[in-house]
Amino acid sequence: MYTSYSNFTVPDTASQDTVYGLFQCRGNLDGGDCGRCVARAVSRLGTLCLDSTGGALQLEGCFVKYDNTSFLGVEDKTVVVKKCGPLGSSYSDESTRRDAMLGYLGSSDGTYKPFRVSGSGDLQGVAQCVGDLSPSECQDCLSEATGQLKTECPAAKWGDMYLAKCYVRFSEGGNPSHSQNDTNDDDDEIEKTLAILIGLIAGVALLILFVSFLSTLCEKGKGGK
């Protein structure tokens, strides 16, 4: 069975170095779509980050990252992607509904919910933490992301706020995750590139080690549903 999140540490005995990595799929993707998305991300990282000590790729449906310095379990609220749509409705009740929805996505009811969906009618929102965060770190990250989204996109029809370890998205006229209630078989949407982060130049052996390891996992998982 294919998991939607995993992190790992792979030692390189030849160089006495270590590669740290993780992958995570959007919380509502099934195993087949998750496996295909991660395989696509790994393939692209193999091209984009050929001579890098680390890299990260955020696709529509999944996130993959590796580095030769451990980042696992480390909270990081750096803004990676910020996108605001065109101006939406100016009615105060729409703004109130949007703020209430974002408030829900960024607040805690005492239970650990790394993937959250909220909305009514054509107003929809989704939020997710990377799985290496603790419940308190996840909550802290989502609170920061929703606060920044309210500030940066206060009257927009849609908005995306991706921090390094979490994201929050909303849309008044469509689905922010493109597949909120059902899985999406449209590979173009699942594999749409949202952000590319490339590390310092060096250490091609680390990338080869990481890609080889993840590719093996992807081949096992692509057929699962």
Q: What is the pLDDT of residues 37-96, one digit of tens each?
A: 888 888 887 777 766 777 888 888 899 888 888 999 999 999 988 889 888 766 667 778
Domain-embedded: residue 176? no
- The Cα 133–Cα 78 span in angstroms is 15
Q: 32 near 225, Cβ under 8 Å?
A: yes
Residues 67 and 83 both lie in one domain: no
Residues 12 and 60 both lie in one domain: yes
Domain-embedded: residue 209? yes
**Number of domains composing the chain:** 2
Q: Which of the two residues, 131 and 188, has the higher pLDDT score? A: 131
Domain hosting 130: range is 79-171
- The Cα 116–Cα 180 span in angstroms is 10
Residues 215 and 142 both lie in one domain: no
Q: What's the length of the chain?
A: 225
- What is the reported pLDDT for 174? 63
Residues 139 and 62 both lie in one domain: no
Residues 212 and 160 both lie in one domain: no
Residues 198 and 135 both lie in one domain: no
State the average pLDDT over residues 14-40: 85
Residues 159 and 189 both lie in one domain: no
Domain-embedded: residue 178? no
- What is the reported pLDDT for 41? 85
Instruction: Find all residues with CB under 8 Å of 50, minimum gap 6, and list them.
Output: 204, 207
Residues 106 and 49 both lie in one domain: no
State the average pLDDT over residues 192-206: 48
Residues 88 and 115 both lie in one domain: yes
Domain-embedded: residue 108? yes
Residues 18 and 59 both lie in one domain: yes
Q: 87 near 74, Cβ under 8 Å?
A: no
As given in the structure block, the two tokens for residue 45 are 């990282």
Residues 163 and 188 both lie in one domain: no
State the average pLDDT over residues 117-122: 84
